[in-house]
Chain A
Amino acid sequence: MQQRTPIEEQIDLPFMESLRISFQSLKIRFGRSVITTAGITLGIAFLVSVWTSNEIGIALQESGRQSTINTFEETTEAGISTKDIWLIVMSLIVCVVGIANSMLMAVTERFREIGTMKCLGALDGFVVRLFLLESGFQGFSGALIGALIGTLGAVLLGLKDYGLDLFFYFPLLPAQPEDGPMQLGVIVVILLGCFLGMVLAVIGSSFPAWRAAKLPPAEAMRTEV
């Protein structure tokens, strides 16, 4: 058998091309993208509202005001009740599990698409990049909306508990009172929420996408959801 022209190496796609493909994909499955993004929004909204409520509680405690409702709570030395810690940890778990699940489902139903793209010449790296871009965008927008909704919710709750004093003592910026616990401030909480949402979405999507991309295309295309 004669040797023919040797097989060349596949090229990398320009970044703009990947960006275009990922946006097109988000746009056309808009309904599905919104549902996945809503999962991120919910998780982050919950986390940020619990966290912000806690910040507000501490700030107003520092100021000497007490919520009429929370007075019966046992407080630790630092001023955060064990119930608050519990709530924050729980909301963090709900957030992580919720987002990971939502991303995993969104990728699993696209295994066939991943296999098909590889048949057409996609490199594994392209598949991963596509999912990185899509999930990064979904993660950021979902988390930002979630953080704003969460903050709004915490403010409304705070208004109910503390009235207009809330705005006077509102913990917008980080603070380190001499005798109190470190306070992050609402802005940092929002930023952290956005960052966490984006990181979780990107990991939750790229990791399964990377695993699917490594499969032989025949196997990826067999997957029925």
Chain B
Amino acid sequence: MADIVVKTEDVVKEYRMGSNVLRALDGINIEIERGEYISLMGPSGSGKSTLFNMIGALDTPTEGKVYIDGQNMSQLSQRQIAAFRCHRVGYIFQSYNLLHVRSAHGNVTLPMIFAGIPEKRRNEKAEELLDMVGLGDRMYHLPDELSGGQRQRVAIARALANDPSIVLADEPTANLDTVIGREIIDLIKSLNEEQGVTIISATHDLKMLDVSDRIVDIRDGLVERVRNREEIEIEVGEVGGH
């Protein structure tokens, strides 16, 4: 039996704006296996970020259920949700979302402070992680003093601080140029391959195609189709053949 880490059941999300109701997700059913690299693909406005927020417990669905590690997320207490965000998931955003009052190192230590890790240990861990993402020489710079690619590396190091089993990335390369974007994708892929982290990434970056195990195409709040590795390889081949 496959080890399912994320499962959504008829997830609906409606945004109410005055008397208008916008149905951003219209009944999403997906299952994600542990260790997979999944890309949520779809045009802008299709509902990728909304689904990302539901899976990451950053917002609650209007209807339907989200299970993570077999846990129905709607049954968790506030404290459990905070612990879930702290320990189980790492988030990477398009706009980095670093705290601009804390250095790169300070950003990476913060989730470990919330987790109650002793100071010495968390300082060492932050240094290790920043080294790993290639920022060993920029540890004590503020985010404002770093380039976009460097900021995203800090965000990746921060996402890994408490050894999450899932990393959620919402268009991590959208604000970066092709070369830097490629480096960020390779870095995320290496987490997946070397540490077995489950990666769920919303994107419309075609560079993400060939690193994904499966691609979930989202359109108008619905899963349009799911493509697996073999189908992707054929398509990438076709694209390459042009």
List A residues at the B interface (Cβ < 8 Å): 1-11, 13, 17, 21, 24-25, 28-29, 112-113, 115-124, 126, 216-219, 221
A8 touching B83 in the complex, CB below 8 Å, given contacts A1-B67, A17-B113, A121-B115? yes
- Contacts A1-B70, A2-B70, A216-B60 given; does A29 touch B101 at CB 8 Å: yes
Known contacts: A4-B70, A10-B114, A13-B113. The answer to whether A119 contacts B76 by CB under 8 A is no
Fill in one digit per residue for B81-114: 1 if any A CB lies within 8 Å of its CB, else 0. Answer: 0111111100101000111111000100011011
Which of A1, A17, A113 counts the most B-chain CB atoms under 10 A from its CB?
A: A1
A1 with B7: CB separation less than 8 A: yes
With a cutoff of 8 Å between Cβ atoms, the chain A residues found around residue B3 in the complex are 2
Residue of A nearest to B114 (CB): A121
**Contact of B147 with A by CB under 8 A:** no
Contact A9 B58 (CB under 8 A): no
Closest chain-B Cβ to A144's Cβ sits at a distance in Å of 25
CA distance A11 to B106 in the complex (A): 20
Q: Within the complex, what minimum Cβ distance (angstroms) separates B229 from chain A?
A: 23
Q: Which residues of B contact A7 (CB under 8 A)?
A: 69, 71, 76, 80, 83-84, 88
Chain A residue numbers with a CB within 8 Å of B60 are 216
What CA separation (Å) do A214 and B67 show in the bound complex?
Answer: 23
| Interchain CB contact under 8 A, B70 and A3 | yes
**A12–B92 CA distance with the chains assembled, in angstroms:** 25
- Which residue in chain A gives the minimum CB-CB distance to B4? A1
B97 pairs with A123, CB closer than 8 A: no
Chain B interface residues (CB < 8 Å from chain A) = 1, 3-4, 7, 53, 56, 58-60, 67, 69-71, 76-80, 82-88, 91, 93, 97-102, 106, 110-111, 113-116, 142, 158, 162
Number of A-B pairs, beta carbon distance below 8 Å: 103
Alpha-carbon distance A113/B100, docked complex (angstroms): 9
Which residue of chain B is the closest to A17 with respect to CB atoms? B113
Residues of A within 8 A of B4 (CB): 1
How distant is A38 from chain B, measured CB to nearest CB, in Å? 19
If A17-B113, A217-B58 touch, whether A123 touches B70 (CB-CB below 8 Å) is: no
With A1-B7, A1-B67, A119-B97 known as contacts, the answer to whether A9 contacts B79 (CB < 8 A) is yes
Q: List 11 A-B contacts (CB under 8 A).
A: A1-B4, A1-B7, A1-B70, A2-B70, A7-B69, A8-B80, A13-B114, A24-B101, A28-B101, A116-B99, A121-B87
Bound: A29/B83 CA distance, A: 29
Closest A residue to B82 by CB, please name it: A10
Please name the 10 residue pairs, one residue from A and one from B, whose CB atoms are nearest each other, closest first: A121-B86, A10-B82, A121-B114, A218-B59, A10-B83, A4-B69, A218-B53, A218-B58, A9-B79, A28-B101
Partner of B110 from A9, A10, A120, A218 at Cβ < 8 Å: A120
In the bound assembly, the distance between CA atoms of A116 and B110 in angstroms comes to 11
Do A119 and B69 touch (CB < 8 A)? no
- For A126, what are the chain B residues with a Cβ–Cβ distance below 8 Å? 114
What are the residues of chain A within 8 A of B1 when measuring CB–CB? 2
Q: In the complex the two chains form, what is the Cα distance from A16 to B106 in whole Å?
A: 16
B80 close to A9 (CB less than 8 A): yes
Judge whether A120 and B114 touch: CB under 8 Å.
yes
Tell me which of B69, B80, B102, B142 contacts A10 (CB under 8 A). Answer: B80
Shortest CB-to-CB span from B67 to chain A, Å, is 7
User: In the complex the two chains form, is B82's CB within 8 Å of A123's CB?
Assistant: yes
Nearest CB on A from B95, distance (A): 9
- Minimum C-beta distance from A134 to chain B (A): 11
A53 to B: closest C-beta gap in Å: 40
B residues within 8 A CB of A121? 82-83, 85-87, 111, 114-115, 162
A118→B59 contact, CB < 8 A: no
